[in-house]
Amino acid sequence: MSLPNLASLCAELSHVVLLYDKGEKGTCFLGLGAKRILEIGGKISNVKAFQALEEFSKREEGKYTFGALSYDLKNSIHNLKTSNPNTLGLPDLCWWQPKVVIKWHPSNKEFAPEILQGDSESELAIKGLDAIKNPGNNEGCKVRSELVWAWDKDTYIEKFNNVKNLIQAGDVYELNLCQTLRGKAPSTSSWSLFTQLYSKTRAPFSAYLQAGKTRIISGSPERFLKRERGKLISEPIKGTIARGPNEAEDLKLIEELRSSEKERAENIMIADLVRNDLSRVAKRGTVEVDDLCGIHTFETVHQMITRITCEVDDNVGISDILKATYPMGSMTGAPKLSAMENIDLLEEKGRGVYSGSIGYISPTGDFDLNVLIRSLFHNADTEKIEASVGGAITALSNAEDEYKECKLKAEALRKTLQGE
């Protein structure tokens, strides 16, 4: 099955969410409409945001809920305070219970789309099924707009050198420094932008979220955290190299990434951080590294990914799990608290939803959350768009290489907004 055509549903409804993975074992979810909504914005000074999320997800038994969490929710867990502005003006937490939820496996035609939530005979369910089964022409109108870097190259290198000084002083040993790009696009273009981004990335944690003015257009390749039948799974990404022009060159680049001392060091540092985070909620002795520094190939890049798992007791809820693990360590650096404090000083703006998460909570309390990278964030009221890209800086990092990596990660986003 192809990408569903949600253009008319996005025009009709205030709340639409699509989680799309067309991989061999991929599962997709489509949520339409909103029966109940939880939204938290502005300054957050305590841990109640995640408690509110857990209570909201449990309020009606047997219901799926979906939504997005901003990176800046870190302030509610780690007692951090920052005056950095939320430049796009999107909420810190946006979650809701869709009226209709449909699940399907696009690579397995033996399994028909299944209505998990809502009346299967309702007009909304019928429209959703038709969008999945009969996508038709899904290209939409291309936006031709520029994404402009907030920092020039000299500014980035100055920030890079500041991070190197922090590493030499022992304040951090890895820090994920991110920079922002800004543009504008019509409020009606969000879905079209998603279809164009997906055609370029085909990432396994791709997602489209529309909740009023909030629009998230994600081509994420990274899982933050999944809970499945008492098991937690985290898959941090650290280590990136571009795809080659042919198979032979591709294989050389894979081996270059696999054998890179710098990339492996970055990945292992974050794997250790994630292991430590998970140990706070795991059953004793169950934290394991299932796959260390595995190489995974995507449409435009090869990535180094480590898979870490643990077991958790049934009485440990999502609030406790997120307080122990959020935000994803691959987007902070290590030590985590010091890295986040210095990120606030260096980046000089709130990250907002970027490097936060989008996903779902099931009726049983299981959940699956991505890391919001390789994504566009669209405020439909102001028509402003932001994207951010970055990379981990360690003692072995080179400023020119890190700058080029940022450019590489932004390429699909830039081409999407320019209609290339």
DSSP secondary structure of 266-295: HHHHHHHHHHHHHHTTSPTT--EEEEEEEE
CATH topology of domain 7-418: Anthranilate synthase (3.60.120)
Average pLDDT over residues 386-400: 96
- Residue 340 has a pLDDT of 97
Residue 24 near residue 107, CB atoms below 8 Å: yes
Burial 15-30 (b: 16+ CB within 10 A, else e): bbbbbbbbeeebbbbb
Question: Which pLDDT tens digit goes with each residue over 180-238?
Answer: 999 999 999 999 999 999 999 999 999 999 999 999 999 999 999 999 999 999 999 99
- Residue 84 has a pLDDT of 87
- Residue 45 has a pLDDT of 46
Average pLDDT over residues 377-388: 97
Assigned token pair, 4: 């569903």
Alpha-carbon separation of residue 338 from 82, 176, 264, 345 (angstroms): 14, 12, 22, 11
24 band by pLDDT with thresholds 50, 70 and 90: confident
- Residue 42 has a pLDDT of 59
> What type of residue is 184?
K
Q: What is the pTM of this model?
A: 0.95
pLDDT exceeds 70 at position 399? yes
The H or E element containing residue 54 is helix 48-58
Residue 164 near residue 361, CB atoms below 8 Å: no
The label of the residue with tokens 């396994």 reads 204
* Residue 275 half-sphere exposure toward CB, CA atoms < 13 A: 17
Question: Which pLDDT tens digit goes with each residue over 264-309?
Answer: 999 999 999 999 999 999 999 999 999 999 999 999 899 999 999 9
Q: Check 63, 99, 159, 238 and give the catalytic one.
A: 238
Report helix, strand or coil for 247. Answer: helix
Question: Which pLDDT tens digit goes with each residue over 365-381?
Answer: 999 999 999 999 999 99
Quick check: is 349 catalytic? no
Question: Which pLDDT tens digit goes with each residue over 107-141?
Answer: 887 778 999 999 999 999 999 999 999 988 777 77
Query: Mean pLDDT score of the chain, rounded to an integer?
Result: 94
Left (φ > 0), alpha (ψ -120 to 50) or beta: where does 10 sit? alpha
Quick check: is 238 catalytic? yes
Assigned token pair, 18: 């699509």
Cα–Cα distance for residue pair 6/183, rounded to 1 Å: 24
Q: What angle do CA 259, 263, 268 make, to 5 degrees?
A: 105
Question: Which pLDDT tens digit goes with each residue over 69-105?
Answer: 999 999 888 888 877 888 999 999 999 999 999 999 9
Strand partners, 32: 16, 100
Q: What is the DSSP letter of 371?
A: -
Span of 38-52, 196-210, 248-262 with lowest mean pLDDT: 38-52
- Residue 47 has a pLDDT of 58
pLDDT exceeds 90 at position 23? no
* pLDDT over 70, % of the chain: 98
Torsion over CA: 264, 223, 150, 417 (sign): positive
337 band by pLDDT with thresholds 50, 70 and 90: very high
DSSP secondary structure of 103-158: EE-TT-TTS--EEEES-TTSHHHHHHHHHHH-------PPP----EESS-HHHHHH
43 band by pLDDT with thresholds 50, 70 and 90: low
DSSP-derived pairing of the beta strands 205-211 and 93-97: unpaired
Burial 322-331 (b: 16+ CB within 10 A, else e): bbbbbbbbbb
Cα–Cα distance for residue pair 60/54, rounded to 1 Å: 11
Q: Check 63, 74, 174, 222 and give the catalytic one.
A: 222
